[in-house]
Amino acid sequence: MTTSSAMASNSASATNLLPDLKKFWGYDSFRPLQAEAIDCVLNRHDSVTVLPTGAGKSLCFQLPALQFSGVGVVVSPLISLMKDQVDALVGAGISAAALNSSMPESEKRDVEHRIKNGQLRLLYVAPERLNTAATLQMLKENDVSFFAIDEAHCISSWGHDFRPDYRALGKLKEQFPGVALHAFTATATPKVREDIAVQLNLKDCQTLVGSFDRENLVYRVSQRSNLLTQLRTVIDRYPKQAGIIYCISRKEVESVSETLNSIGYRTRPYHAGLSSEQRIENQDAFINEETDIVVATVAFGMGIDKSNVRYVIHAGMPKSLEAYQQESGRAGRDGLQSECLMLYSGGDFMAWKRMLAPNNPAAASLLEAMLKYCSQPQCRHKALVEYFGQAFEKENCGACDVCNGELNTVDDPLVLCQKIISCVFRVDQRFGANHVADVLTGSKNQQITKFKHDQVSTYNLLGDLSKKTVRNYIDQLVGQGFLATAGGQYPTLNITDQGRQVLRGETTPVLFEAPAAAQKSSGQTDDWEGVDRDLFELLRTLRLTIANENSVPAYTVFHDPTLRDLSRQRPSKLEAMSQISGVGEKKLATFGERFVSAITEYCNENDVAMDQPAVTRIKNPPVSSARGLSKVGVMKKAFSLFEQGASIEDVAAQIDRARSTTSGYLSSYISEHNVTDPSPWVDANVIPKIRAAAEKVGSLERLAPIKEIVGDEVSYEQLRPVIDCLKVETK
Ligand code: ADP
Ligand code: MG
Ligand code: ZN
């Protein structure tokens, strides 16, 4: 496979857990950075792991928890989320439980009892529960293996989800000296990341940052024109599958949900104006597949771990790219191709600006970045990844409207842009986009006559275009920085330096025709290759039946990729079914027979061949799949730099990867090229110390005992290459 397994192999301790990964989860290999994060947990080394949604953060603490005799405590912000994770763990045969205030006393006592007897591997608690004197005391009396802080950005007031209850977690280090803390988040900003380590008082913490690119998501942005048609274009690509539609206002949520319902789609609304019972009911209906679509305000989504959301549509522009990344990121957690469409208008931008930005320059700059994302002619993946401070290497992502050539550009836009910008000049840079569009299209409204703008030279200069089109071009010019908006209540347009260059003909903006041309459904078929769709539907129903019998969410039975593999390979025997990714031992024992007999019956009746070969490409995990290719390139580059003796730091900078990743590449380099001399990467004076320590331990399999001897002055980054070279020597 790709580098994920290569990285795992240099990390001896995580590699030892591969049999458990197969046994309990049914997976064959680690995804990027999972092995590293697991190593930290095993070695009781404080860590912060930043990976995008769907990358598999839970596994980083769940799998190593099985290796400890004590209980791993997981702090998670929402009770519903904890419940689903516990259900999934128990379903896989792992002893896990949650403690929360809504539980009956007897159940709580039972959980405490299992902790005392060392029977429980994972305990989920909400922060407010953990912070009670009783819970802290109970944990102190027992053996705590580690604390895992999920959604750790909630501790930072710089984040978008600050929760005061998380603050008290800062005391854990003091209260449980010697117990390691591991923080997990998908929040990409370095500021939040650093704040997490500070707030939690982490010691010498290892920071692991993955790529933020969500390769399995197809991004599209379009001007909002006919909302219903635009929504249906996407929804109809995913019949009977799950999707989320975000609207800005409650009113819009209600009307969109009702309209879609009235024409036969199964939708439920969700917003803060509904009673909490109604909200819970609608959310559960979504999780349990009783409804396909949730139409919601941004109040919806936190704590929704549903893995098979096939699309997320924004009916209006979000207030920041941070928010967009978070919300759109709820699509495709299972790694299958999914789609994110944003419908925006310049009006959304102005509305947000009035609401948030008048006295708040930070909010204003977030909004501007958002508008820029909508209107600049650049790959959406690249724009998002670069916004979060990472490099993007692919020339063509193949998964966005820009790269797929779905957007038509205006031919010869220079003169058109000059007309628009000079109109802004003619009205003295004192009017907004709406008014400028009115002037350009020759409107006769009161405002125009009042200011005598029907007499300026640019009046009716674009009379052959609709006002909407012109307004759209103006928004694009704002988004690309040729025009700027100023003022609070009634923002006015003014011309930037870049805009003046356009007037002088020194630079030419790219303008998209609005709205976007018909959207091809790029690559949607890949993940379906070889899948018998009718069988897939049948197995989905079976999954739902089983889920209902056990009162658990459907995806805790099997995730969609597993159902697709089952409908693709169509195993006739339990043995064959056990080979499929996502089928662990417990699940095989509990549901295996039912799935195999449903498949057999279907195939016999429909004369469909069984026991087909696996399609390996499909089984690639999301973060490494297409990226695998470019990664090979990156690794090659790293190898040639190592060959020249470049330091880890230098190589990390040149290949634009985290030091931890680079250090992993070095391990692969050393073992693949049989390197025995670690001196280019390690201080000469510590090498003998490390060698002596390794000698004393007598085994090179685990780094932790060696690290214990050499102590804090030698980092893992220094330790690892020496041990890797020793391994080569003793091969
Ligand atoms: P995150 O918390 O990072 O958003 P999750 O922990 O919810 O992600 O995992 C997302 C999905 O990826 C889950 O369906 C999980 O079972 C799956 N997954 C995790 N690790 C692996 C792996 N090594 N191989 C295959 N699937 C995995
Ligand atoms: Mg998670
Ligand atoms: Zn692209």
Q: pLDDT tens-digit profile of 281-338?
A: 999 999 989 999 999 998 898 777 789 999 999 999 999 998 899 899 999 999 999 9
Which CATH number does the domain 533-606 belong to among 1.10.150.80, 3.20.20.80, 3.40.190.10, 3.90.1150.10? 1.10.150.80
Ligand 1 pocket residue status of 329, Cβ below 6 Å: no
How large is the average pLDDT for residues 571-585?
94
pLDDT tens per residue across span 50-94: 999 889 999 999 999 999 999 999 999 888 788 889 999 999 999
Query: If you average pLDDT over every residue of the chain, what do you get?
Result: 88
Q: Whose CA is nearest to atom 25 of ligand 1?
A: 27
Residue 380 CA, ligand 3 centroid: distance in Å: 5
Would the CB of 60 count as within 6 Å of ligand 1? no
User: In the CATH hierarchy, which top-level class contains the domain 217-387?
Assistant: alpha beta
At 125, the pLDDT band (50, 70, 90 cuts) reads very high
Point out the ligand nearest to the CA of residue 583.
1
Residues 366-404: pLDDT tens digits? Answer: 888 999 899 888 899 999 999 988 899 888 898 999 888
* Per-residue pLDDT at 625 exceeds 50: no
φ, ψ for residue 158, nearest 5 deg? -80, -20
Closest CA to 10 of 731, 515, 720, 729: 720
Residue 472: the pLDDT is 87
CA-closest residue to ligand 1 atom 2: 57
DSSP summary character for residue 385: H
Whether 30 is in the pocket of ligand 1, judged by its Cβ within 6 Å, is: yes
Give yes or no for residue 615 having a pLDDT over 90.
no
- State what percent of residues in the chain have pLDDT above 70: 93
Q: State whether the beta carbon of 214 lies less than 6 angstroms from ligand 1.
A: no
From the CA of 396, how far away is ligand 3's center (Å)?
5
Name the residue at shortest CA distance from atom 9 of ligand 1: 56
Ligand 1 pocket check: which of 57, 59, 616 to mutate, most ligand atoms within 8 Å of Cβ? 59
Residues 147-176: tens digit of each pLDDT: 999 999 889 876 667 788 898 899 999 999
Query: Which pLDDT belongs to residue 142?
Result: 96
Contact 47, 583 (CB under 8 A): no
pLDDT bucket at 526, cuts 50 / 70 / 90: low
Among 375, 619, 595, CA closest to 477 = 375
Which run of H or E residues covers position 130?
helix 127-130
Q: Is the CB of 305 under 6 A from ligand 1?
A: yes
* Region of residue 570 (phi > 0: left; psi between -120 and 50: alpha; otherwise: beta): left
Strands 483-486 and 492-495: antiparallel
Q: What are phi and psi of 571, to 5 degrees?
A: -65, 140
Backbone angles phi, psi at 570, to 5 degrees: 50, 65
Neighbour tally for 598: CB within 10 Å: 17
Residue 480, class by beta-carbon neighbours within 10 Å (0-12 exposed, 13-18 middle, 19+ buried)?
buried
- In three-state secondary structure terms, 244 is strand
Tell me the ligand closest to 52's alpha carbon: 1
Q: What is the mean pLDDT of residues 404-428?
A: 90
Is 59 touching ligand 1 by the criterion CB < 6 Å? yes
CB-proximal residues (5 Å) to ion ligand 3? 379, 381, 397, 400, 403
Q: Same fold for the domain at 217-387 and the one at 413-503?
A: no
> 307 C-alpha to center of ligand 1: Å?
9
Cα gap 657→649, rounded to integer Å: 10
Which residues, in sequence order, are bridge partners of residue 181?
147
In 43-100, which ranges are E strands? 47-50, 71-75, 96-99
Task: Round to whole Å and give the CA distance between 591 and 543.
Answer: 9
150 lines ligand 1 (CB under 6 A): no
Q: Which ligand is nearest to the CA of 88?
A: 1
- What whole-number distance in Å separates Cα of residue 564 and Cα of residue 533? 8
Residue 242 to residue 309: CA distance in whole angstroms = 5
pLDDT per residue as tens digits for the range 600-612: 999 998 888 999 8
Atom of ligand 1 nearest to the CA of 55: 3
328 lines ligand 1 (CB under 6 A): no
Q: Of the residues 21, 58, 623, which should be mutated to test ligand 1's pocket, given the most ligand atoms within 8 Å of the CB? A: 58
Taking only the tens place, the pLDDT of each residue in 641-672 is 898 888 888 888 887 777 767 887 888 888 88
Strand 217-223 with 338-344, pairing:
parallel
Q: Which CATH number fits domain 2-209: 3.40.109.10, 3.40.50.300, 3.50.50.60, 3.40.50.1470?
A: 3.40.50.300
3-state secondary structure (DSSP) of residue 485: strand
Query: Where do the structural domains in the chain lie, given as residue ranges?
Result: 2-209, 217-387, 413-503, 533-606, 630-729
Question: What is the pTM assigned to this prediction?
Answer: 0.72
Atom of ligand 1 nearest to the CA of 555: 14
CATH number of the structural domain 413-503? 1.10.10.10
